[in-house]
Amino acid sequence: MTKPSPDDPKTLVSTDWLAAHLKDPDLRVLDASWYLPDAGRSGLAEYQAGHIPGARFFDIDDISDQRSELPHMVPPVEKFMSRMRAMGVGDGHQVVVYDGAGLFSAARVWWLFRLMGHDNVAVLDGGLPKWQAEGKPVTTAAPVIRDRHMTVQRRNRMVRDVTDVARAAKLGDHVIIDARAPGRFRGEVAEPRPGMRSGHIPGSRNVFYQDLLDADGTMKSLAALRAAFTDAGVDLDKPAITTCGSGVTAAVLALALERLGKTDHSLYDGSWSEWGMYADLPIATGAA
């Protein structure tokens, strides 16, 4: 059976949808390719080698709070606004975000736009790999940029800090969902960043972000998404906090929850890069 089209300009759109709307005057496409330090890939270099026509490069590491020692934390509102204006992205635009892995770092930028109060943003299902596999156009040409004002109304409820998460873990009034690979969650595999302890936040549940994707890198059907969460012991009736290694793939979980119609979710921005660094924070190992 063919999976139904995901097209929803507030969450996820297909490559066919984007191709049909590519010349819309108020569409803005962002290439948010980002990779772990040990991946041996550069998002910017890949963008320069070929990108979807009109796409701007969104540098996750640069458009962040660089006052923090933690990687790519949420940028100050003023920085986000000014960088988006310089990229020609602003009020009234429909934004589509993609990445070079399929469906990975683009979700982080989707979540960041939502945090900043913008709902007309979607992730490209299957990303650049699916776009290219279908023979759709790519270019090396730089986009024409025109300034566009952006209004920001930050939704603080969508992001959590370490104090919030520690409280939630103690009280059990939220379900904490970890997007990392099972070996990292269980503490059996060393973290990719040096100095990190291994394990997970006590009481959290593990939904590996790749288990939400089909073999072609597109997001699974709604029924399969729901099953992935419930099979992992996630109580979808509780407010959710998503987490991962550094706040990137936690956003894939957030996107999946939003697809399921669950809106009471937030993201732990520091994620394991913060929790795993502090010896006074409790950790658990094993499957639970």
Q: Which positions are catalytic?
A: 244
- Sequence-distant (≥ 6) Cβ neighbours of residue 274 within 8 angstroms: 70, 162
- Amino acid letter for position 125: D
**From CA 52, how far away is CA 56, in angstroms rounded?**
9
Return the structure tokens found at 170. Answer: 């103690």
Say how far residue 131 (Cα) sits from the centre of its chain: 19
Query: Are residues 19 and 136 in contact, defined by beta-carbon separation less than 8 angstroms?
Result: yes
- DSSP secondary structure of 47-75: HHH-B-TTPEE--TTTSS-TTSSSTTPPP
Question: For the chain, what percentages of helix, strand and coil (3-state, to nearest 5) are there?
Answer: 30, 15, 55
Helices (H), the chain: 15-21, 43-49, 77-86, 106-115, 127-133, 162-171, 182-186, 222-231, 250-259, 271-275
As a whole number of angstroms, the distance between CA 244 and CA 242 comes to 7
Can you state the angle between helices 106-115 and 250-259, rounded to 10 degrees? 70
What SS3 state is found at 133? helix
Check if the beta carbon of residue 137 is closer than 8 Å to that of residue 150: no
